[in-house]
Amino acid sequence: MKLKANDNIRIAIVTNRIPIYRFPIFKSLQECPWFDLCIFVSMPVSASAPEAQRELKIRYSRGLNMRIHTRRRTRNTRQVELPQLPVKLPFDLLSYRPDVIISGEFGPRSLCAYLVARIRGIPFVLWSEEIAETAANIGVAQRLLRKILLPKANAFLAWGKPAVNYLKSRNIPDKNIYYCAQAVNNHYWKSQHDQYDKSTLRHQYKVIGKVFILVGRLIPLKGIDLFLNAWAGLSSEVQRNNSVLIVGNGEQEQFLRKMVSKMGIPNVRFVGYKTMDELPKYYSVADVFVFPTLGDVWGLVINEALASGLPVLSSKYAGASQDLVEKSGCGEIFDPMDIGKFTDILKHWCLNDTTVSAEDCQAAVGPFNFDASVKAITMLLQALYPSLDIDRKK
């Protein structure tokens, strides 16, 4: 489909909901004078961030909800996923008459989006966060959908280096891949960190020694029990002289509490779920962030921790480890399944003063910002429609 130079590009983005960390990207795109943006969500609009509900053009496209269990081969656990059969989506997309469709998954929604794009004769773009570690756990149906969809896309938005590497492993040419940055509001976390006095917080939270913090859902996939097993391997003296804060809630909380009690580990506190307004205090009182996940396509808590000035000990199964921790000098990467080596790393960070400063950590995460992703998406759209004079519209 050809556009005139004065036309705006009508962009349809297909996703499940709009979280707070995607809102600034969509808002910037919506404010661009050369784009007309509409976001089609498969969950009710109320599931998206309040800011998105107020300021973005969103359409709820109803479908039939499904429930599947994905088995994680790295460990005998299952994760519940809620894909949707997009019954109304093709009609909603056709009524909008987009010039390009960007779809954010390798599932039924994207298959539907591709078919509409083919009917309209417009480009179809896949938004991919998939990494090799998580792709290893997908089922037969999901593998089939990837086999169908990957060759059909005109281009890909890959969120992070591991996502780029996964696409390359599927023989996607470099020229079709546009790198987007997995990002949080770095300024927010830094400014919050700067306003707190650490010694005051340490007294308030009654912590001693080095303070290690873990943030996330308390479910088997996050590997909190592996951390506790590794921490239990430290000498009793090291355990007594250092502290652990576990932030979050979930189905495994009682099991984890019993682990701590049974093993007699001192100075481990479960502080429950904390909102975005509350969490900065906990980052500010901590010295080291630990992320022992067994499978995360990224792990935005790593961004938050670095922006808060904390060095990071990250599982190799987190996508963020390759972009943000490896070679940055701001932490270490480990295999949480190797308890002995995990314990050795924790011991090193307990007993040794590190040369990693808050400024080092914040500098490492600095390039991972919303503007980088907006630029990548704009470059992709300009490549798809080179006749458009975007510079003229700035």
**pLDDT digits 0-9 by tens, 299-356:** 999 999 999 999 999 999 999 999 999 888 999 999 999 999 999 999 999 999 878 9
Same fold flag, 9-183+369-393 and 186-365? yes
3-class secondary structure per residue, 329-366: CCEEEECCCCHHHHHHHHHHHHHCCCCCCHHHHHHHHC
pLDDT grade, residue 135 (50/70/90)?
Answer: confident
The CATH code for residues 9-183+369-393 is 3.40.50.2000
Q: How many CA atoms lie within 13 A of 214 on its CB side?
A: 28
pLDDT grade, residue 73 (50/70/90)?
Answer: low
Distance CA 207, CA 286 (A): 9
Distance CA 270, CA 184 (A): 25
Distance CA 52, CA 38 (A): 12
Residue 216: helix, strand or coil by DSSP? coil
pLDDT grade, residue 125 (50/70/90)?
Answer: very high
pTM of the predicted protein model = 0.90
Residue closest to 330 by CA, chosen among 365, 356, 294: 356
| Sequence ranges of the domains in the chain | 9-183+369-393, 186-365
Q: Which CATH number fits domain 186-365: 3.40.50.2000, 1.10.3720.10, 3.40.50.1110, 3.90.79.10?
A: 3.40.50.2000
- Distance linking the first and last C-alpha atoms of the chain: 24
Q: pLDDT tens digits, residue range 357-369?
A: 999 999 999 999 9
* CA distances, 314 to each of 14, 44, 87, 115 (Å): 31, 34, 40, 40
Residue 116 has a pLDDT of 97
3-class secondary structure per residue, 222-259: HCHHHHHHHHHCCCHHHHHCCEEEEECCCCCHHHHHHH
Q: pLDDT tens digits, residue range 211-257?
A: 999 999 999 999 999 999 999 999 999 999 999 999 999 999 999 99
Number of helical H runs and strand E runs in the chain: 19, 17
Q: pLDDT tens digits, residue range 183-210?
A: 999 999 999 999 999 999 999 999 999 9
DSSP classification of residue 264: T
